[in-house]
Structure 1
Amino acid sequence: MIWTDVKAALIDAAASDIKAKTDALPADPASESGAIKTETAAIKAKTDPLPADPASESGAIKTETAAIKTETAAIKTTTDTNLDAKVSERATPAQILADPATDLIDGSALDASVASRSSHAPADILKDAAKKMDGERIDSLLAGIVPIEGTCEPAILDTITEVVKQELGVLFYLEGHIDLSVMEAGDAITLSESISIVTPVDYKKYADSDYSGVQALPLLYVETKPGRYGVKVELTQTAGVVRVFPYQFFVKRVV
């Protein structure tokens, strides 16, 4: 009776162990097999594109990288060479900054299109232009330095008397002074300014200024408008004793 109970207990234990293992199995092994196949196929799809020999693919990448580096170096060399050539074709800083009047600019370094505009070399063109500009500056300075001096002496009252007149054919104006210190009570004058804007010269008055009696500031400053064909200043004594008026004017070029 005791042995039979022991044997029955062993059988129960074995049956429980078998049940525990079978309980872990899927209820439908066939459907689980399909899921495993699907997962396996997904893994295969991802691994198939991988190279059969990763080491050999690494070598190909290195080869391609080396080729790119070689091509880049060639491009850099060509660019540097071309830039150096273009820079060397231009004038040096010293040539660029040189005064054209000293003839230091190398004509061969100038743009060829300059030479095509004249039969002269570019350097000669610049030198000639510099001389002309210097001449104009000298003319202007001389015109400003050399004064036009004298006295205005009206013959009788109400007679227009020329003080200063210039007809240069270039754009200029007159600047100067008239001494009115001789004026006394009862004296009166009119100062007129005229310009010719046509040739032959034909003066037209554009300004009149009246002065009478003793002048608190006797040195009258006069500056005309600029003109080309002619500029003129006139004085008319309209009352009092006829006087003599000293003056000094300068011709100022407009450049």
Structure 2
Amino acid sequence: MSSPLVVLIIGGGSNVGAHVAQKLKTEGYRVAIGSRNPDSEALKRQGLLPVSVDGADSKSIKDAFKLVRDHLGEPNVVVYNLGLHIPPKSPNDPLAVSAEDFAKTSNVGGGVLVAAQEALASFRSSKNSNAPKVFISTGNLLPFIKKTVPSFFALDLQKGIMATTMQYANQFYTEEGFRFHYATLVGPDGGIPNLSSDAKEGFFTTGGPAHAEAYWNLISRAEAETWDYRFTYDGKKFG
């Protein structure tokens, strides 16, 4: 008997995390959704497994995987949906970011390595040979933009760590059938999406459903996609 389909979402906010969770639940997945302070009762009422996890803490990430394995089984899909932006005190002075804040943002970036290592172990031990084995890191365009923005210095490095980790993992584990993606919502022109909270189409308005559709496409498609995967407001691949 094959193992159940299980997804662990690290970063269960009301926008991307919540929409991805509901999409995968409707597709037959057992869903664990993690955040530092999950609303356990509300999540349980939705049929989701609440997980307390701090993406900046390696032990916390490992504990989250153990909890999911004990309660739902080995996750065959992992979504690392984290981002921490702490701008420097002066917007035009990138080195004004404190060492403490820099460490916090870097640790969130580094957490993707721990999550990917745990996911790899789960992929290899899963008894469901037909299940997709997919790791998706929610990205942005900062690692690819040539023009630097001082206030995004630490976030740029954080997302750069995520992007590079996905690039290496996707290259070296594809022969085992495992997929690793750095997935980024872009605007119609391929640039930064609209970040206004009241935009007709934008990251904070239509971004949640777009991520859910795009991530399901990455998970369910028969052929692997590139590690750097960009999609638009309709959830379809850009370009």
Is TM (by shorter chain) over 0.5?
no
Counting strand residues as a fraction of each chain, which structure ranks higher? 1
TM-score, scaled to structure 2: 0.21
TM-score, scaled to structure 1: 0.20
Question: Which of these two proteins has the greater Rg computed from alpha carbons?
Answer: 1
